[in-house]
Structure 1
Amino acid sequence: MKADLHIHSYHSDGKYSPAEIVFYAAQNHLDMISLTDHDTIDGLADAQEACRKYPSLTLISGVELSTYHESDELHILGYGIDPAYPALTALLEETHNKRQARLRRVLARLQELGVTLTYEEVDSAFHTSSLGRMHVARLMIERGYVRTIREAFDRYLSYETNQITYTSGDFISSQMAIETIAAAGGISIFAHPTIALFDRYLEPLVAFGLRGIEIFKGSRPSIEEFYLETVVKDKGLLTTGGSDWHGYHQTQTLGSFYVNSGQIQRFLTALGL
C-alpha cells in the first residue's frame, strides 16, 4: 500500500483543486491520501466526490491547524475528523479570523516597505478563505516585486527577516486544537516537527492529548527519522508521514513520496481502517 497523508489543495496554499489532486493520486498509483489544507476543510467534500470515480483510492478527512504554544508556531494535523462537528466548525472560524487579522498586519508592514498590496487584492486573487504569506508571495511575483517565492520570503515574508512578526494572539492554542480534534472524533498528529521542536514540546503536547508524530517525509535525514521513530514508539504514540505536497515543484510529482502500511499500521488501526 502506498499512502500520502499530507497534501494541500488550492483551498489553502496548494496549486491544484481537490478533484485534480484525487486524479493525480489515482494516476500515480497511490492507494490512500489525506487532504490536509491549512485551517480549512472547504475542499473535503469535493475530494470525497472525486474519489467516487476511483474505488481503489481511500481518502482520509484531514486538516492542518496553525497553533501556538509558548514561543513557537506548531502545526497540528487532524485525521478522521467529522467535518460537521460544531466545535470544529467554530474553531475553524476562529482560525479564519486570526489569519485575516495577521495577514492585514503583514500587508500593512509591506506597505511601509514599498510593497503596495491590499487585503482585497490578495483575497480576490485566490480560491481560499485560508489566506497566508504564500498567497502574498505569489501576488508579489505577479506584480513584479520579486522573481521567486524564495526571494519573497528571504526579503520580506520570513519571520527570521524581522520585517514581520507574529504573536501568540495570531493563532489558536495547541491545546485547543488537540482537544477539538479529539472531540470531533479525530486523531491529532504533530506535523513535520524539527528535532528541536520535538524535544521541547513532545511532553506538553502529549499531556494535551496528542496521539502521534508525523515522522516520515521526503526531506528528513534518516538519522533524524530513526531518532524520532525510536522515541515515539517508546512512548506508544502513532507514526504518520506525507509529502506536504503543494504542487508547485514540477520535479516533485504526487506519488513520488509515500509511506507504506507497515510504517503507519497502528495509525490506520486507530482510524478503524
Structure 2
Amino acid sequence: MRIDLHAHSTASDGTDTPAGLVRNAAAAGLDVVALTDHDTTRGYAEAIAALPEGLTLVTGAELSCRIDGISMHMLAYLFDPEDPALLAERELVRDDRVPRARGMVARLQDLGVPVTWEQVARIAGDGSVGRPHVASALVELGVVDSVSDAFTEQWLADGGRAYVPKHETDPFEAIRLVKGAGGVTVFAHPAAAKRGRTVPESVIAELASAGLDGIEVDHMDHEPATRARLRGLASELGLLATGSSDYHGSRKTCVLGEFTTDPEVYGEITRRATGAFPVPGAGGA
C-alpha cells in the first residue's frame, strides 16, 4: 500500500489542478494521497469529483505557523473544513498573502528586478498566492535557475533581501484549533535547514506535550542521517513518523510517491480523526 500524505494543487502553489493531482497520483501507483494546500481547502470538491477508482483521498491543509521568529508548517489532516474557529484563522492567514506578495514584488523592483504584480498574479492563477509564485516569476525572468534557488538570503528566504513577513499562526494554537475541528496534526519537514532556521527539538517536545500527533520524517529536504535522527526523536516523544513527497507538480523536482507513509501510521491517523474521513475513489470524471 503506497501512501503519500503531502501534495499541493493549483488551489495554492502546485501546478496540477486538484483533478489533475488525483489522476496523477493514481497513475503514479499510489493507493492514498493527501491534498494539503497552503491554508485552504478550496481544492477538495474538484479532487473528490475526479477521484479515480482505487485511490483514496485524505483531505487536509498545510498551515503557516511561526514560533520564536522561526517559520514552520503544520500539516492538518481530516479536520472539519467548516469548523468556525479554524476557518477564521485560515482566512486570516490567506488574506494576508496578497499584500505580502505585493510587498515582495516592490522590494524586488527596488533591487532592480523587473518583476510585476501582474506577472505574479498570472502565475498564481486562482491559487492562494505565495512565495513560490514570486520565485517562479524570478525563474521566468532568468534571475534564478530554479524555484529553490530563489529561496536564499539574496532573494526570498526568511530574512532575505526581498522577504516580507505575513500573518502566521502560533503552532500551539494551530494544534488546539485542528484538534477542536477533529483533525490530526503533523509537523511538516521539521529539519529542512535549506529553507532557513529550524525549530529546536526542545520545542518539538513541547508541541508533542501539547497534542502534536506526528512529524514528517521521510522528506526530500531531509538527508538520510537527518531522517534517522528524526525517527528516533519521534519514537522518544511518542509521535507518529510520516513520509511524503511534498509534491508541487512542475514547480519542484519531487515526484508523487517519492517518500511514503507506513500503512500502520496512516491507519492510526484515520483512527484519531473525527472531523472528516478519507474519501474512497469511485471513478471520477
**Shorter-chain TM-score range:** 0.7 to 0.9
| 1:62-101 deviation digits (Å, cap 9, x = unpaired) | 1001111112001001001111222222111101122223
Query: Displacement of 1:252 after TM fit?
Result: 4.4
Gaps of 5+ in 2: 193-197, 279-285
Moved more, 63-72 or 220-229: 220-229
User: Which residue number in structure 2 is paired with residue 70 of structure 1?
Assistant: 68
Moved more, 90-99 or 59-68: 90-99
Structure 1 pair 208/250, CA: closer, same or farther in 2 (3 Å)? Answer: closer
Query: Displacement of 1:268 after TM fit?
Result: 3.8
CA contact (8 A) 2:76 2:184 kept: yes
Equivalent of residue 181 in structure 2, options 161, 164, 184: 184
Q: In 2, distance between residues paired with 1:114 and 1:32?
A: 45
Counterpart residue identity of residue 128, structure 2: S
Query: Displacement of 1:249 after TM fit?
Result: 6.7
Matched, 1:228 2:206: no
User: Which residue number in structure 2 is paired with residue 41 of structure 1?
Assistant: 41
Matched, 1:30 2:68: no
Query: Displacement of 1:254 after TM fit?
Result: 2.0
TM-score by length of 2: 0.84
Q: In 1, distance between residues paired with 2:262 and 2:83?
A: 30
User: Which residue number in structure 1 is paired with residue 50 of structure 2?
Assistant: 50
Gaps of 5+ in 1: none
User: Which residue number in structure 2 is paired with residue 170 of structure 1?
Assistant: 167
Q: In 1, distance between residues paired with 2:92 and 2:220?
A: 32
Counterpart residue identity of residue 156, structure 2: L
Q: How many residues are treated as equivalent by the alignment?
A: 269
Matched, 1:158 2:157: yes
Counterpart residue identity of residue 239, structure 1: A
Higher relative contact order (CA 8 A, sep 6+): 2
Counterpart residue identity of residue 235, structure 1: L
Structure 1 pair 239/71, CA: closer, same or farther in 2 (3 Å)? Answer: same
TM-score by length of 1: 0.87
CA contact (8 A) 1:98 1:171 kept: no
Q: In 2, distance between residues paired with 1:193 and 1:228?
A: 9
User: Which residue number in structure 2 is paired with residue 92 of structure 1?
Assistant: 90
Query: Displacement of 1:253 after TM fit?
Result: 3.4
| 1:92-148 deviation digits (Å, cap 9, x = unpaired) | 110112222322221221121122434344224423342111111222333454443
Counterpart residue identity of residue 26, structure 2: A
Following superposition of structure 1 onto structure 2, how do residues 101-120 of structure 1 map, counting pairs within 5 Å? 101-120=99-118
Q: In 1, distance between residues paired with 2:34 and 2:148?
A: 27
CA contact (8 A) 1:241 1:259 kept: yes
Query: Displacement of 1:251 after TM fit?
Result: 6.6
Q: Percent identity, please.
A: 36
Moved more, 25-34 or 83-92: 83-92
Equivalent of residue 80 in structure 1, options 78, 81, 90: 78
- Secondary structure of 1:23's aligned partner: helix
Counterpart residue identity of residue 180, structure 1: L
Counterpart residue identity of residue 36, structure 1: T
Following superposition of structure 1 onto structure 2, how do residues 120-139 of structure 1 map, counting pairs within 5 Å? 120-139=118-137
Counterpart residue identity of residue 170, structure 2: S
Name the structure where helix makes up a greater proportion of residues. Answer: 1
CA contact (8 A) 2:92 2:167 kept: no
